[in-house]
Structure 1
Amino acid sequence: MLAACSTPPPPAPQRPSAGTPAPTAPVPGDTGPLPPPLAQGKSRWVPVHWSELPGFDSDALHEAWNAWIKGCERPAPAFAPLCAEVRRLSIASAEEQRAWMVARLQPYRIEAFDGRADGLLTGYYEPLMDAARLPGNGFNVPLYRLPASFERKPWYTRQQIETLPEAQAALAGRAIAWLRDPVDALVLHIQGSGRLRVTEPDGSQRLVRLAFAGTNDHPYQSVGRWLLDQGATRDATWPGIKAWIAANPQRVNELLWSNPRYVFFREEPLDGLDAAFGPKGAQGVALTPGRSIAVDRQSIPYGTPVWLASSGPQVQLARLVMAQDTGSAIVGAVRADFFTGWGPEAGDVAGRLKQGLRLWALWPK
């Protein structure tokens, strides 16, 4: 589809660039009266001029266009009429793309109902891990498909799945692959998908994707929050959690079992253009590194283009992104999870990203 649209594949995932964006200059065509505010689920949308959006005149919009074209595979009703124009503009200049956005879209500052426009940005990624198709040689942590009969919900907790014979019997023969480290398995469960370099029984290796297939329907509990509540650490980022694990190996199960939620996966091939994009998000389209976000769907509909601005110790961001995913912890009007890509570098950024956020929804006029 991308080739038919004359759109090049997206660049390899990179660490978001640092530096505070310059204020946006007055935008040509950005005149006239503003429409009234909108109520959108849990949020209030306040119309603004384009000049309010930090960095609007300097963003590399062509990078976001890849994500927008992906979104047009399953567009929200409000944006479906624009998709033909979005595809045509895939080879346009940034100036032409900006002019089209000003002509066709109205920016709205997203606020909570109490008027708060400041929120929280975190990050997520697609882990890349070594695995084996069969257990042994240190690979003894299974990653499971959904149980064959999966009618009872909520199902067994994480601790019960790993200790009860009846839970183990229900999962017999359902392992997709095996990892070395139970903490790596927890990371996959939290992120919801991942890439595996799988060693097959004949010794060959394949790169595959594990996509989210379902959960045991227990609530997610943060292991970082558990450590904070225990007074065990003051650093609940993944580097801090791993440092605690290294110092307390005898308490690993206690840490893991503090999160009763358990995720099941399905295996997908990973080659060609599939490898240049992330897993499918809740919108049903593949995520684009640095240009897809997870949102609270009761505040921002899937498929909505969003202007994101965030400043913090990890990254400075001011860019066009697409609301294409959600997550159990992504709740609130001004709340987003930023998809950083895959592999160790993306994981490092995602694991440390926790900083202030402002959002503007870009809605058809």
Structure 2
Amino acid sequence: MRHLSRIPAPHQRLQRLAGAAALALALVTAGCATRPPAPCPVCPGEKPAAPTAPAAPPLQPARFDELPGWQDDDLAAAWPGFLNSCRGMKSRRDWPLWRGTCEEAATLGTPDSTTARRFFESRLIPWRLVNPDGADNGLITGYYEPLLSGSRQRLNPTQHPVLPVPADLLTIELSDLFPELKNLRLRGRLQGNKVVPYWSRAELAPREAKLGEKAIAWVDDPIELFFLQIQGSGRVKLPDGSLLRVGYADQNGHPYQSIGRVLIERGELKPEQASMQGIQGWARANPTKVQALLNENPSYVFFRELKNAEGGPIGALGVPLSDTRSLAVDPRTTPLGAPVFLATTWPNEERPLNRLMLAQDTGGAIKGVVRADFFWGFGPDAGSLAGRMKQKGRMWVLLPPGVGPR
């Protein structure tokens, strides 16, 4: 799940309460931080714990000739996405480090692949991404923009709402108090004067009728709505043939749990069957069990209506995603906006897929150094590729001089 977008500001009263909750959290944190250390780290008769190996640095120096297939990729196809990344980075804290590179790129117009390659090699430095255990291989999955069938109104009792952010959802930005927690936030709701966790998916299900009074749309398939929440954006085809576009707005604060893993553990699907298509097939064959299965994942995503413009959905960087050239990454180690060279294979194949991508999105399940989600585009064909993609891959991030680790 990728998709970090701006969300509507909560009511002022909720903001004050959220601030109070954050202050309480700060006090608790401060109290924990000032506890004295245990008087006996190693007690008599006990052996000291074996020292753990230091974690490998996430970025390690590399050369362009180490990137498999770098000379074969059509870098002209990545150029529009790179210019979009430059536009998105203008509002970010690290823009001064990218300004010179992006301003020069803007003067080149529409370069061919050779010119684009010469530009990247002269202006950027490749860094190999490495996991804490020293491995440079990680999981590469895929996502896409799905098409659902639905309407603005609830046409029959079996439809399911695409919900906006509820008015009672509190979002507490921890970075307001602790800058080092810049990618962490808490979500909850008020219960009297107490902030408690927000409703889980199972708890939201019986409340959908009430919440649906403000639904953006109603769709006719619960499993497709579930996958819309995983993808983070999509389009709904309305009865008159027009398309409604929706994108991620917020989430209920509960951790994501894989329903594919649940079906494997129950013996209802084999591991090789637990793709998006396999789960959809199981749901069609077991309609009375679908809601119970979905409730195994307590995470729930809320949406906002987007302008029905051309191009891909808006990613976390704030720019449209480029089909087969945008990646969702973990921004803790891969800066949003940066070019990333990806070396992996096509879904369910050994055929190499080596391509310059752009880090333009994030996702709830995209955690780790060598971890990415490959954006395949819009519609059923893109969905077929995205649903089958679960490959091993390596990644190199390209950064301007002085941006990498010191």
* Per-residue deviation, 1:168: 4.3
**Which SS does the other structure have where 1:72 is aligned?**
helix
% identity of equivalent residues: 42
Query: Which of these residues, 122, 127, 133, is aligned with residue 114 of structure 1?
Result: 133
Stretches of 4+ moved more than 4 A in 1?
none
Where structure 2 has 5 or more consecutive residues not aligned to the other structure, the ranges are 1-54, 171-188, 190-195, 402-406
Equivalence for 2:206: 163
Q: 1:285 aligns with which of 298, 307, 319?
A: 319
SS at match of 2:281: helix
Q: How many residues align?
A: 314
Select the residue among 38, 57, 61 that pairs with 2:71.
57
Match of 1:44? 58
2:7 is matched with which residue?
A: none
Aligned to 1:107, the other structure's residue is in SS state strand
Q: What are the superposed Cα offsets for residues 166-214 of structure 1, whole Å, 9 maximum, x if unpaired?
A: x643x25211111111111101111111111123xxxx33212101111
Select 1:275's aligned residue among 302, 310, 328.
310
- Offset at residue 82 of structure 1 (A): 1.2
Q: Which residue of 1 aligns with 2:33?
A: none
Of the three residues 201, 205, 215, the one matched with 2:241 is: 205
| SS of residue paired to 1:73 | helix
Q: Is the 8 A contact 1:121 1:357 kept in 2?
A: yes
1:231 aligned counterpart, secondary structure:
coil
Q: Is 1:317 matched with 2:368? A: no
1:88 to 97, 107, 110: 107
Amino acid at match of 1:224: G
- 1:130 corresponds to which of 149, 158, 163: 149
Aligned pair 1:105/2:105, yes or no?
no
> Which structure: larger Rg?
2
Q: Mapping of 1:333-344 within 5 angstroms?
A: 333-344=369-380
State whether structure 2 residue 296 is matched by structure 1 residue 258.
Answer: yes
Cα RMSD (Å): 1.9
TM-score, with length taken from structure 2? 0.73
TM-score using structure 1 length: 0.81
Structure 1 CA distance, aligned partners of 2:398 and 2:67? 11
Supply the AA of the counterpart residue of 1:107: P
What whole-Å deviation, never above 9, does each CA across 1:95-124 have from its counterpart, x for those lacking one? Answer: 111111111111111112332111111001
Q: Which AA in structure 2 matches 1:88?
A: T
Please tell me whether the aligned partners of residues 327 and 375 of structure 2 are also in contact (alpha carbons under 8 angstroms). yes
- In structure 1, distance between residues paired with 2:138 and 2:302: 31
In structure 1, C-alpha distance between the alignment counterparts of 2:218 and 2:73, rounded to whole Å: 42
1:184 aligns with 2:224: yes
Matched, 1:301 2:335: yes
Could you say if the C-alpha distance between residues 188 and 42 of structure 1 is closer, same or farther in structure 2, counting changes exceeding 3 Å? farther
Retained in 2: the 8 A contact 1:124–1:339? yes
Whether 1:231 and 2:267 are equivalent positions in the alignment is yes
Does the CA-based 8 Å contact 2:56-2:133 persist in structure 1? Answer: no
As a proportion of its length, which structure holds more helix?
2
Worse overlay, 139-148 or 286-295: 139-148
User: In structure 1, what is the equivalent of residue 162 of structure 2?
Assistant: 143
Q: What amino acid is the match of 2:295?
A: W
Aligned mates of 2:56, 2:306 — CA distance in 1: 35
Give CA deviations for 1:230-258 in whole Å, capped at 9, x if unaligned: 12111211121122223322211111111
Deviation for aligned residue 1:155: 1.8
AA matched with 1:230: R
- The residue aligned with 1:195 is 235
User: 1:339 & 1:263 partners in 2: Cα distance?
Assistant: 19
Question: Structure 1 residues 196, 43: closer, same or farther in 2, change over 3 A?
Answer: farther
1:43–1:299 Cα contact (<8 Å) kept? no
2: CA distance between counterparts of 1:154 and 1:348? Answer: 36
Query: Counterparts of 1:207 and 1:89 in 2: how far apart (Å)?
Result: 36
